[in-house]
């Protein structure tokens, strides 16, 4: 079945440093979604990427979707303590028996030291 791998599992940064998490799918995706889960909270939708090679920005966050629609990344510039949490990617299968199913990566836990 479809697998979505996310790395790294943990990332510790000093406030002001940049952060990147990567997401790779075993199959071609129709789209990819990113979610953030604050400590003790629930996942909250951040963004969705649909087009091959798409890049979207939200303030200090930059999201990319690979040309082959099998990988994605989230980059945070100049992290702040409010960025702390777990970032999940979730990919929707482009075809086959898993068409449209949303599969979550394992998440990257970001810790920001002030």
Give whole-number Cα distances, 49 to 32, 84, 112, in Å.
Answer: 5, 23, 26
- Supply the DSSP symbol for 107: -
Q: Which is nearer to other proteins, 48 or 77 (CB)?
A: 48
Binding mask 59-78 toward other proteins (x if CB under 8 A, else -) reads: --------------------
Task: Tell me which stretch binds other proteins (CB under 8 A): 1-9, 53-61, 63-71, 72-80.
Answer: 1-9
Find the shortest distance in angstroms from Cβ 71 to other proteins: 17
Q: Which is nearer to other proteins, 10 or 68 (CB)?
A: 10
Residues from 27 through 66 that contact other proteins (CB under 8 A): 30-31, 33, 41-45, 48, 50
Q: Contact at 8 Å (CB) between 107 and 22?
A: no
Closest CA to 75 of 55, 94, 61: 61
- What's CA 26's distance to the chain center, in Å? 15
| Contact status: 102 vs other proteins (CB under 8 A) | yes
Distance CA 73, CA 23 (A): 6
Number of residues engaging other proteins in binding (CB under 8 A): 25
């Amino acid at each position: 079945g479809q697998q979505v791998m996310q790395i790294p599992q943990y990332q510790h940064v000093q406030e002001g440093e940049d952060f990147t998490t990567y997401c790779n799918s075993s199959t071609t995706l129709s789209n990819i979604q990113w979610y953030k889960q604050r400590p003790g909270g629930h996942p909250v939708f951040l963004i969705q990427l649909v087009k091959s090679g798409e890049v979207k920005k939200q303030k200090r966050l930059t999201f990319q979707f690979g040309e082959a629609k099998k990988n994605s990344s989230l980059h945070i510039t100049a992290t702040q303590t409010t960025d702390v949490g777990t970032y999940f990617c979730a990919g929707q299968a482009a075809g086959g028996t898993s068409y449209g199913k949303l599969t979550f990566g394992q998440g990257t836990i970001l810790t920001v030291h002030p």
